[in-house]
Amino acid sequence: MSLPLDNVPRPRPRDPLVWVAALTAAFAALAAINLGTPSQPFFDEVHYLPAARALVSLLTTGTGPLLNPEHPMLGKELIALGIWWLGDNPLGWRIMPLLAGTLALFAAMRALWHAGEDRFATLAFGLLLATGFHLFIQSRIAMLDVFMVAGLAVSAWQFAASIRQPETGRWRLALTGVALGCAMAAKWNAISLAVLPGLAFFAARLSAGRRRLFLSRRGAPVPGITLVEAFVWLGIVPLAVYALTFVPGYWLGEYLRPSPLAEKGLIGFHGEILALQKQILAPHSYQSTWSQWVLNTRGIWYLYEVVDGAQRGVLLIGNPLTMLIGLPALAWCLATGLRRWDWAKLAAVIGYGASLGLWLIAPKSVQFYYHYFVPSFFLLAALALALSDLKNTARGRWFAWGTLTVSAGLFALFYKVVAAAPLEGAMSFANWTWIAGWR
């Protein structure tokens, strides 16, 4: 007797791991071209390189001051590792951001694959990220944001995989915790997202109505793991990893002035970090607001000057197409995600809301477009999922493929001012400043 067609199990889609790896390798190769240009520090490298050099000095001479205390230490430690490895030169400054950006791209695609097992959405997400401007630019500058994003992407990958493959749940949840700790230890912006895996685990167990809520091993999201054990992996481990990254700071100090960490202790030192984060800063010509980020109307020129024998520029904006059409894609994912209980779509919407919502309440007097780096990941994930839905319709197929093509085309058009390539002259910026807010 044959089964009705509706009851025949559908074959699981093939894992696009090879294509994910190929796309990641292509991104890394492109981002590595002229990584040492400009040959001088630019934009916020002027803040983070001295802090990294102090860590290298601590490693090589046993002494060094604690600089840039307003941010946690992991990102500066990783930049210092690059300098120790390849020397105090542009390649040494930027090699670790390049590796972190490459990891972020790979991990983000793996996260979306495990969340929804949608081949097209996974690869579309990778292409959208690679051509979305943010990731490419941040992978080529010694700033902290790319390390935070890499940690968040790895945590999303491992958490989604622990749910998809519960037989590997324990070690994947442990890696989730480690990655969350690293993300927070790079930059505090990660905190609003770092709490979400634990909250999701708790909500899933609570909704199951188990009598032994804290000790039951049954049910979603990861069978075999109790709520207590999940708290260890997703709560205690991230905090422990975060704290461990401050260990070198106990030895950073100056003559007759011990390290502030040694003086105040880890908790006391965080009071100083918080005070520095909340200080009222002078207005900046490139400051912007969250509404300008969402509409992609305010950019930042990380660089625009004659350097290395040519006029060069680096303009941080979002891809002019995908940053805007990603907004209705978020609405689509919210509506269809609720209707179908599609957790991949809902996760994209929740992640976008949590990461952007932080900046509506953050006590920072001056904010910049690079703070949209994390929300843009979720925006592009939502766009990839929406394009996958469109691809399965007769009329939408052309729009889906066309969006990916135009995104890549716009990246090529703006390549000179995302890669610090030589420009024709001092007024060349006008070729890319399509609106006043990009000047």
Share of the chain above pLDDT 90, in %: 84
N- to C-terminal Cα separation, the chain: 70
Averaged pLDDT of the chain: 94
Would you state the pLDDT for residue 2? Answer: 46
Work out the pLDDT band at 427, boundaries 50, 70, 90. very high
Hey, what's the torsion of the CAs at 263, 268, 273, 276, to 10 degrees? -90
Domain membership of residue 330 (yes or no) is: yes
Q: What is the pLDDT of residue 10?
A: 63
Q: What's the token pair of residue 392?
A: 């399965």
Q: Which residues pair with 313 in a beta bridge?
A: 304
Give me the residues paired with residue 310 across strands. 307
- Burial of 188: CB neighbours in 10 Å, binned 0-12, 13-18, 19+: buried
Question: Helices H, strands E: what count in the chain?
Answer: 18, 2
What average pLDDT does the segment 178-203 reach? 97
Q: Is residue 257 part of a domain?
A: yes
Largest Cα–Cα separation, the chain: 87
Q: What per-residue confidence (pLDDT) applies to 207? A: 86
Query: Quick check: 283 pLDDT over 90?
Result: no
Structure token digits, residue 298: 């305010």
* Per-residue pLDDT, 11: 73
Residue 5 in domain: no
- Who has greater pLDDT, 246 or 284? 246
Give Cα separations from 386 to 123, 231, 286 (angstroms): 13, 33, 32
Domain count, the chain: 1
Query: Average pLDDT in the 158-182 region?
Result: 98
DSSP 8-state assignment for residue 305:
E
Is the Cβ–Cβ distance between 180 and 234 less than 8 Å?
A: yes
Name the more confident of 113 and 215: 113
- Output phi, psi for 395, to 5 deg: -80, -30
ω into 97 cis (within 30 of 0): no
Q: What is the span of the domain harbouring residue 223?
A: 14-438
Contact by Cβ (8 Å): 388, 120? yes
**What's the token pair of residue 122?**
């996974």
Are the beta carbons of 272 and 69 closer than 8 angstroms?
yes
Q: What is the pLDDT of residue 373?
A: 98
Give percent above pLDDT 70 in the chain.
97
Q: Token pair of 156, please?
A: 């999303």
At 7 the pLDDT is: 52
- Taking only the tens place, the pLDDT of each residue in 6-54 is 455 567 789 999 999 999 999 999 999 999 999 999 999 999 999 999 9
Query: Token pair for residue 311?
Result: 């006029």
Residue 40 lies in a domain: yes
Q: What is the mean pLDDT of residues 43-72?
A: 94
Distance, in Å, from the CA atom of 128 to the CA atom of 377, rounded to the nearest integer, reads 9
In DSSP terms, which residues pair with 15 in a beta bridge? none
The DSSP-derived string for 26-51 is: HHHHHHHTTTT-SSS--TTHHHHHHH
Residue-level pLDDT at 1: 42
Least confident of 39-43, 144-148, 259-263, 329-333: 259-263
Is 217 a domain residue?
Answer: yes
Whether residue 2 is contained in a domain is answered as no
Q: What is the pLDDT of residue 8?
A: 52
Spatial neighbors of 267 by CB under 8 A, at least 6 apart, are none
Do 158 and 171 touch, CB atoms closer than 8 A? no
Question: What's the pLDDT band for 256 if we cut at 50, 70, 90?
Answer: low
Question: Could you report the per-residue pLDDT of 365-382, keeping only the tens digit for each?
Answer: 789 999 999 999 999 999
What is the band of 278 on the pLDDT scale with cuts at 50, 70, 90?
A: confident
Q: What does the alpha-carbon distance between residue 153 and residue 106 come to, in Å, rounded to a whole number?
A: 8
| CA atoms of 47 and 68, how far apart (whole Å) | 7
258 within a domain of the structure (yes/no): yes
pLDDT band at 111 (very low <50, low <70, confident <90, very high): very high
User: Is residue 359 one of the residues assigned to a domain?
Assistant: yes
Place of tokens 């889906």: 400
Residue 3 pLDDT: 47
| Reported confidence tier of residue 265, pLDDT bands at 50, 70, 90 | very high
Residues 6+ positions from 372 with CB-CB distance below 8 Å:
134, 290, 293, 294, 318, 356
pLDDT of residue 282: 76
> What pLDDT is recorded for position 279?
82
| pLDDT higher at 60 or 253 | 60
5 has pLDDT over 70: no
Beta carbons within 8 Å of 254's beta carbon, 6+ residues apart: 63, 65
- List Cβ neighbours of 386 (8 Å cut-off, separation of 6 or more): 328, 329, 332, 333
